[in-house]
Chain A
């Protein structure tokens, strides 16, 4: 099993606040890995550091054995590490198709981009119907589909997802997670950050539990799902 991303002793601060305190984890190629934890645990901070939007105070990030710590965000995207950020990650003043076109910003292969667009429309047919509408007029679920579809337009090697289930009705959460499983089956490595611990661990091969900036538990997704400590803290007993 090859390792796609390795995070070593990563610390990230906001001024004097230590949000992430020396975490170490790795992602295996082709797997879904979940990083779960409560509000304010440091999940988003970790993802922002992986994407280069926050500079780590300490530690290293290795992608395919290359040290990408301290690279600019656009350099990290062009290596194939693409993030769907927390909340409304889409551009509401642009249309759906403009959002998708920008997803392929780092690519130059016209034919490949057209193929990716086909795939995204196949995955999320509703986006095709709404292609010419402003993204801001989409429903919450459609916006999340657009955010994921747009990330896929980059032809990523690693997809980072920050709480894709946030604010969505349970039925939509199911739909999004099923799609993530499909995307992963086609070979894409996924790091899934979630507060929806049960759903995330169900589809993840491996999981890490983060509390106040530290990783406190790690195991396979299935084992974590049945771990009494996880059950008590995150699954309502």
Chain B
């Protein structure tokens, strides 16, 4: 029973981490709390569902296509909304509020197009295989979800740590002005970061859609709240922190649902977060950097 719950927690936690990764990346590089990230996640889910049902696309291809669609959406949001606000030196609250508007527009549109009811992947599209290891039932799809989430996170993590592009992103996170004096095309990397972050968010949406096999226009809302909690807990803009905090939240949620109360799962998870933040107000890794101009 416990090992079964641990597997559920691992699956959920890896998706939370993946979602939060894009969220924290945008915060770190663009210094924007992008509240449309949940809606982009939802769009990724619908995109995959649409491609699988309408065009009978294989699941792996639908996942890639859904990432491209949500990535383009993220890019569009940056070019049409965040960029003009940057150019006007708008105070931090303005882009955050603008992205709430984007989120509302996207979920209303999804509702208009696909209806408000819960949609599911057609019979047979989700691999049904199951292994029994000891007393744990492992669904093939869970292995896929954890594998894909960790692969994407590892690629991003290594790219940021080891490559010149990653160094450039960290330079921008510290000081866009200093970065541009090094010859870094800061605007270009803002666009690129928006694309990648949204593509990761879209991937998380597809994976959650597969895990629960339930897709709704408002599915981005609860995960957005969790994403906010995760990036605060992990330390704003901290990639490794988001990863660990995402896993932690998944575990807290699954364990409290299983052993405390099925209704209070979220409340317990958020209560724990609150307690941790009382002790460590700047997140688990407690590293708050003031960004230079």
Contact = CB atoms under 8 A, between A and B. Distances in A.
Contacts of B180: 52-53, 72-74, 77
B268 interface: no
Interface stretch (B50-58, B67-75, B170-178): B170-178
What band does the interface of chain A fall in when counting residues whose beta carbon is under 8 Å from B?
20 to 34
Contacts of A52: 180
B6 interface: no
B129 interface: no
Contacts of A154: 182-183
Given A77-B182, A78-B183, A102 B177 contact: no
Interface string B141-182: 000000000000000000000001001101101110110111
Contacts of B170: 91, 93-94, 98
B181 A73 contact: yes
Contacts of B181: 51, 53, 73, 77, 82-83, 85, 89
Interface residues of B, number: 19
A102 B168 contact: yes
B186 interface: yes
Contacts, number: 65
Contacts of B125: none
Interface string A76-92: 01100011010001111
Interface of A: 51-53, 72-74, 77-78, 82-83, 85, 89-94, 98, 101-103, 105-106, 150, 154
25 contacts: A52-B180, A53-B177, A53-B180, A72-B185, A73-B183, A73-B186, A78-B183, A82-B181, A85-B178, A89-B178, A89-B181, A90-B178, A91-B174, A91-B175, A91-B178, A93-B174, A94-B170, A98-B167, A102-B167, A102-B168, A103-B182, A105-B164, A105-B182, A105-B184, A154-B182
Given A52-B180, A74-B185, A94-B170, 11 more contacts: A72-B180, A74-B184, A74-B186, A77-B183, A91-B174, A93-B173, A93-B174, A98-B170, A102-B167, A102-B168, A105-B184
